[in-house]
């Protein structure tokens, strides 16, 4: 029988593959949600429900990292830490940035809509070469400052951690409201990690049992419903308002904490150890299959029934996991995923 600590670690594997599947489902749903012309249709309402139900995906990835990296351990030289952690992110960041810039250029050329080099450089400077790669730029910042956060975490009481956690989330939620109210830009990409420090610390505190969301199942269900309703009410035929989809909206913040706690509290969830190491690769690869399916007309997000999104998500996830596994088997490419 597994020790309690080992069981909790296995639940982090469950969190990883569930979050990866949720990311794929979210991006499949986004094809339908992002069309103002489809607003109010059954397909749009179904996609909005799917999208709202998985908005916890990226915060859960961050909380898994926090649960592991903020754990008590022997002091480690910074050089060794950075050699292990940043190498895990920097090489994939460089490679996949170049890959998706080339991929975007190819798709634009096929559409007879070439983009000038200056536009590509601007997207690179903004830390957004492709819609999902912002995560690599954000997580690199978290890894860069993680040793200092770990030292702070070890030296502070639970009460003080809770105070700073409330402050971090309060500022992040207020900033999101401010940006939507004023149209202010997101800010320089090298600071994107700062608000995610809240999820980073919360991941360790929930894992250690120092933070709990009251009635997490009810909190999760209620926040999902409120997210879907908020997007539907604030949007219109003239345009979409996606405030409630933000990772620091009032609903998604609660949803994410509740989802992570529920995953850790249910040891019967399959941990799927062979799949968990492939989740980083799934995150990196899956947009290619969504693009190919859309261009081939296999999945455009405009279907009339609500089954298109989960079916497309399952297919894209399976294909992405297969490619991630193949890349991980080769000495030349295993460090890219």
The model's pLDDT over 198-208, given as tens digits with 9 standing for 90+, comes to 999 999 999 99
pLDDT at 336 exceeding the cut of 60: yes
Residue 88 exposure: Cα atoms within 13 Å on the Cβ side = 15
pLDDT of amino acid 17:
97
pLDDT at 188 exceeding the cut of 90: no
pLDDT of amino acid 118:
65
pLDDT of amino acid 1:
41
128 or 253: which leads in pLDDT: 253
The model's pLDDT over 243-294, given as tens digits with 9 standing for 90+, comes to 999 999 999 999 999 999 999 998 888 889 899 999 999 999 999 999 999 9
Q: Which parts of the chain fold into alpha helices (H)?
A: 4-33, 42-53, 57-69, 78-110, 117-125, 134-155, 158-182, 193-208, 216-234, 250-265, 279-295, 308-329
Task: Kindly state the percentage of the chain with pLDDT values over 90.
Answer: 69
Task: Kindly state the percentage of the chain with pLDDT values over 70.
Answer: 95
Residue-range domain boundaries for the chain: 4-336
pLDDT at 113 exceeding the cut of 70: yes
pLDDT of amino acid 306:
72
Mean pLDDT of 136-140: 93
Residue 283 exposure: Cα atoms within 13 Å on the Cβ side = 25
């Amino acid at each position: 029988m597994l020790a309690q600590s080992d069981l909790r670690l296995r639940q982090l594997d469950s969190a990883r593959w569930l979050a990866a599947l949720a990311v794929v489902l979210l991006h499949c749903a986004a094809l339908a949600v992002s069309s103002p012309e489809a607003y109010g249709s059954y397909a749009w309402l179904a996609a909005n429900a799917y999208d709202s139900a998985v908005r916890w995906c990226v915060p859960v990835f961050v909380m898994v990292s926090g649960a592991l990296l903020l754990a008590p351990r022997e002091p480690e030289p910074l050089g060794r830490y950075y050699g292990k952690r940043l190498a895990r992110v920097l090489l994939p960041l460089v490679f996949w940035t170049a890959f998706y810039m080339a991929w975007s250029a190819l798709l634009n050329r096929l559409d007879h809509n070439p983009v000038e080099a200056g536009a590509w450089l601007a997207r690179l400077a903004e830390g957004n070469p492709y819609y999902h790669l912002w995560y690599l730029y954000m997580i690199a910042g978290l890894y860069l400052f993680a040793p200092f956060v770990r030292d702070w975490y070890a030296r502070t009481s639970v009460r003080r951690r809770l105070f700073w956690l409330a402050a971090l989330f309060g500022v992040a939620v207020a900033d999101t409201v401010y940006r939507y109210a004023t149209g202010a830009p997101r800010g320089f990409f090298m600071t994107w990690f700062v608000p995610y420090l809240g999820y980073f610390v919360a991941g360790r505190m929930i894992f250690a049992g120092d933070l709990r969301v009251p009635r997490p199942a009810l909190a999760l269900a209620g926040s999902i419903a409120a997210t879907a309703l908020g997007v539907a009410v604030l949007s219109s035929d003239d345009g979409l308002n996606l405030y409630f989809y933000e990772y620091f909206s009032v609903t998604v913040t609660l949803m994410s904490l509740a989802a992570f706690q529920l995953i850790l509290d249910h040891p019967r969830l399959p941990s799927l150890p062979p799949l968990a190491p492939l989740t980083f690769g799934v995150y990196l690869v899956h947009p290619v299959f969504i693009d190919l399916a859309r261009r081939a007309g296999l999945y455009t997000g405009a279907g009339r029934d609500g089954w298109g999104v989960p079916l497309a998500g399952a297919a894209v996830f399976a294909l992405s996991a297969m490619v991630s596994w193949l890349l991980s088997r080769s000495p030349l490419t295993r460090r890219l995923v």
